[in-house]
Structure 1
């Protein structure tokens, strides 16, 4: 699919009034189509900085008005087939932002890669992207070094793994997943 794109949003939290602080879009080859920081109305707390890898200094240096970010996102996503891990969250944050700004909502064709991964691995609970990437041999950096770019690359790696029927692949230097590490971000050993 030449128009395939991967969307990754960072926000100030998961609550309804949380604001977008970064929008990233990669194409099917992992090239950056859009990477913009948005200026929130509040300062970032230490937990959000750790989770997103974004610092208050990043926002000061690179942040743009959220309306500018959304309008550029609207342009970039036009005509794209978008995959996003936890798409409902991203769409919800975009809808909340456009409602607050009183601008036209974004519309684009998209699917949730998390739902596809759940079906592929026969999971009943929502897996963390980080756990799936570790499982397929493409681990993400540890927080706070993990950014939207790493998560978007993780989405691409996950899609490639599913397309290539990879169910389990550990990098040569990684230790196997410990038996006690069986929370929602891990998968049964042999799903088929």
Structure 2
């Protein structure tokens, strides 16, 4: 890759939307966990596309890059789980990823071979800020309306709020201000429902 190509990538993606696994030198397992969490966070933050740099494996034994192969296996799984909409090889050592809308997380099909999303934390919504609960309720009302339920019962509304809470919190990174990110994701989901 030439320095001109790198400059164009820097303009297109910037540092915020570039994950450079080659520089971090993780194991294949670490790269998978890191990339999945980072890509989920980018989706929640509303990125349209991102660049994942794996390296080609030129300095590896037999020119094989375990990190690149791990990412090649991860990307189709994230597409099936509605985290990403698509991906393409950008260079032999990098991929461009486009993101699915946040509302697509609510439609994720269950697959037997993949681990289920972790249960929501906390197990109820009682520990959340009042504004977060209000946003969850608003998005649940919009989601149910799309399904044709215009006057949901309290139980239907609470079930939908918990379902959305579980789907979104599975996408949020540990350690960050998770509730602020959750509010951002809920705002984005509401905008997507209203635009759709």
TM range (shorter): under 0.3
- Give TM-score scaled by structure 1 length: 0.26
Which structure shows the higher strand fraction?
1
Q: Which has the larger radius of gyration?
A: 2
